[in-house]
Structure formats: structure tokens, C-alpha cells
Structure 1
């Protein structure tokens, strides 16, 4: 059968097809070379933001290894592994520097905000309420003390939702504002009793604890200036805030005399309102107390 001569159009299509095959072959070879080249491998792993966690632990828990292909680094999965395996890490960011073959692990650590006291044992609490570690009883307590009725405290676990709420609130308060508080006690109804060094007890709602800490100094100072003896100041509601003397308190002398206690009525309660905008606290008398 005679061979039909190839037309110019068919010849051009054949040449174009051959060029595509050749180009595709060299692209494939180049890709293989790039994947296997030392320049496309992890040559350095940098860890930033770690203050309490060893760099080796961060790298190990990230799952990223020196020498592995940069193409295989999954930044999202590495971040999730770090956050899941290291409770002290609040967030982790992973970036890949292709030019220098480096992987950067940027951490934001959680902070210890309190120490939980339970039957003579002490446990460091992170800002999400997670029990980070046991604290030796002989060690000093540089953090606020938290107590409650929770049982079975376990390291590397949450204690309760109430404890977690308190820790999240304490994380919002500068440490300098907590120096006068000796203990935060979680009551059965979810309120918090703050025991102050001057003998006063301040009652607050757990979910608004940070705001109560900010307000308590001016409120308690008002009662102290008026000559009130240590008692309970209730900040669970809106101003004016209520003061109640302790049941075994003995009133004597000054502006807070015995007659003044009795004239308050209803158990000797007095009321004070906090002025948040101007001169600290203004008073509103209740039951005849000046």
C-alpha cells in the first residue's frame, strides 16, 4: 500500500507533540532532582517563644525532622501536634523558609496563674485551668492560692469548670493587683471568696472575677476609711455594694460604734456604692449608719 505523503499540518502537529514529550521528560527529571537535592531538605529548625519548654521537646513533638523534604512539611499538622502534646503551649505557628531550608516553630506559651491547694498538696494551674505540675509543699508560692471542694486533683488534667473559669479570669489581671489577696476560695454556688491580707473577705461571681479584683481595692478602702472592721464585702451585684460584719466581730469606738451596728438593722448591714468614674467610692448609708 503506497505511503501517503505527510501534510504540512500533520508534520507541525507531530513536531509539537514531540516537543511536549521532551519538555515533560525534562520537567519530570528536574522535579526528581529538586526533591532529592539537599537544597530542598530541612537543614535547620528554629524554635522561638519557648521559656519553660526545652527546644528538643518542641522539635520532637512537632514531628519535623532534619533532612526530610521541605515538600513534606505540613505546617498545619505540625502546629496541631505541638499544641496537643505540650499543654504549656497555647498556640504554635510553623513557617517554612525555602530559600534557607529552615523551619521556624513560633510558640506562645501558657502561663501559670495560680496554685491549687488540696489536702496539703499544691498544684500549678495554667491560664486555662489545666494542672501543669505538682508544687512541693516546702516551696514558696509566687502565685495566688486557689482552693475549693474539688476532689481527685490530677496532674495534666482539668480540675473543674469553675477552676478553669477562675484561671481564665486571673490571667486578665496584672499580678501586681493580686498581692493583697491571700486566697481565692471557690464556693459551692460558683461564687468566689477572696480573702485579703487585711482581714476582709470579698465575694464575687466567678465569671466576672477580673472586674471584681479591679474594683475591690477602692471599695474595701472606703470601708476601712469609714472605720469598719473586717467583714464581707459583696461584689456579686451592681453598686451599691453591701458590707456585712463577721458574726463574731465586736464593734468598738470610732465611726463604727456599737450603736451604729445595731441601727443598721437586718443583721447590721451597711451599703456603699462605688463611683467608677471619679473619686473612687461614694457612700450610701443604710439603716442609719453614717
Structure 2
């Protein structure tokens, strides 16, 4: 072996000591950082910074923020990391108007509640109050109002049960453009049809129909009224076929 390639032990020892010293320093720095991080975490968890400072509610349009906050049961004294998210979501979802909810944490101390509401399909007129009806046909009595609603049809004469549930089911199937033309729906049961209704439209026409086939036949409503004289109002009968009878009693037309 050539002399130039031979390294004496005396030359290697200082280099080995230097390498070991660097490794030891890196290990010490890592342990110090870990120690200080643990100290910071302990201080954070014991300080007011780990408590809920704010609750942010998103996705709600009909339910007030305060109502959701109250349902969650969370207060500013709660440690944000000790909150049972599933338990909070269960409390919020128990509210009739809430379809679903999701709870998350936004650092450092904000609780975010994402809410998905049930659609209000109609309002039941009861005395001077209007009770919202959800997608399932449930009466949302907690949200009743005395102001005349304009975002959904008003229904009259309905009670909780299969007829109201069927009405909600049928309204939910309607095309938006047809749904928006309905002003009021009255429950007018017959001996042969407990699901019979009379719907009063925003354009002045009246529809006599059965909830069994309501959504199916109302899909053709725009086509039906396009064949009628808009100045001559009357009843459009959709029970069996499609008939129109003017209020003046001028006879019927089959469409």
C-alpha cells in the first residue's frame, strides 16, 4: 500500500472526537427543543388559551347562531381539546330543523359547527301562526312564526300523520319551477280519497288533485296552463285525466 493512502491513528482521533461532539450537540439540542415544547404544551393546556374562546356556526340559514350554540352545550369554560365532538353533534342533530352537523376545531381556540338544515317545504296555518313543515313531514313547532311566509306554500287543514307525510313527499318531488308557482294547498278529503287536495296557484288557477299522483301530474302544469286563456281562471282537475272548468261555469275542456 502506498504511503500517501496510509492515515495514522494520531491523525484520525481528533476527527473522531469532533464527529462525536457534533452528534452529542445535535442530540442535546433535540432534547432541549423537546423539553421546551412539552413545557409550552403544559402551559397552553393549563392556560385560558386552551378554553373555547368563540363558537363559529356555518351553513345555517333559518336557525339562529345562538340556538345552535345553546344546543351544543359548549361554554367558554370548556377545554377545547376535551370536547367530545360526536356527543355535541348528537345534541345538535336532535333538533328537528337540523339534518346533519359536523364539529371541528380551528386553532387556537375556536369551535366550528357546520350545520345542514332540513328544507322547509311548507307552512301549516294554525290560528294566527304558521308552523314550518320539514322534508320528512314533521312539524317544526319550535320555529313557528306569526309573519306570513313567502319562501314556501301555506297549507291548510292538515294534521300530523300519513296525509301530511305524503304531501311533504310529493312537494319534495316537484320541479322547482312548479313548486314555486304554488301559493296554498288545502286538504279536502273525500270518501273515496283521503289524499284529495285543492292547490291554489300564484297565477290564479286552482288545481284539484290527489296526493297519490300529485307530483307526477303537476310536472305537466306549465304545459297545461300554456293551452289556457290566462284571463279566464278556473279549476284544473288532475284527479283522473286533465280537465279545466272555468269559474264562470262555461263548461269543461279536456286537455
TM-score (norm 2): 0.63
Correspondent of 1:80 among 90, 108, 117: 90
**Cα separation, partners in 2 of 1:60 and 1:183, compared to 1, 3 Å:** closer
* SS of corresponding position for 1:45: strand
Conservation of the 8 A alpha-carbon contact between 1:110 and 1:126: no
Correspondent of 2:121 among 102, 113, 122: 113
Using the alignment, how far apart are the partners of 1:230 and 1:247 within structure 2? 5
Could you tell me which residue of structure 1 aligns to residue 200 of structure 2? 195
1:104 Cα deviation from its structure 2 partner? 0.8
**Cα separation, partners in 2 of 1:161 and 1:36, compared to 1, 3 Å:** same
**Cα separation, partners in 2 of 1:183 and 1:53, compared to 1, 3 Å:** closer
How many pairs were matched up? 208
Using the alignment, how far apart are the partners of 1:201 and 1:51 within structure 2? 31
1:67 Cα deviation from its structure 2 partner? 3.8
Could you tell me which residue of structure 1 aligns to residue 178 of structure 2? 177
Could you tell me which residue of structure 2 aligns to residue 50 of structure 1? 60
Conservation of the 8 A alpha-carbon contact between 1:48 and 1:107: yes
Could you tell me which residue of structure 2 aligns to residue 267 of structure 1? none
* SS of corresponding position for 1:195: strand
1:52 Cα deviation from its structure 2 partner? 3.6
Could you tell me which residue of structure 2 aligns to residue 145 of structure 1? 154
Conservation of the 8 A alpha-carbon contact between 2:195 and 2:210: no
**Which segments of 5 or more consecutive residues in structure 1 lack a partner in the other structure?**
1-25, 151-158, 252-260, 262-269, 273-290
1:149 Cα deviation from its structure 2 partner? 5.2
Q: Deviations over 1:1-58 (max 9, x none)?
A: xxxxxxxxxxxxxxxxxxxxxxxxx9xx98x937843354434322112334332332
Q: Residue 215 in 1 paired to residue 227 in 2?
A: no
Conservation of the 8 A alpha-carbon contact between 1:91 and 1:107: yes
**Cα separation, partners in 2 of 1:42 and 1:230, compared to 1, 3 Å:** closer
Equivalent positions of 1:83-162 (< 5 A) are 83-84=93-94, 86-97=95-106, 99-118=107-126, 120-128=127-135, 129=137, 130-132=139-141, 133-136=143-146, 139-142=147-150, 143-148=152-157, 150=159, 159-162=160-163
Correspondent of 1:33 among 31, 38, 42: 42
Using the alignment, how far apart are the partners of 2:62 and 2:119 within structure 1? 10
TM-score (norm 1): 0.56
* SS of corresponding position for 1:61: helix
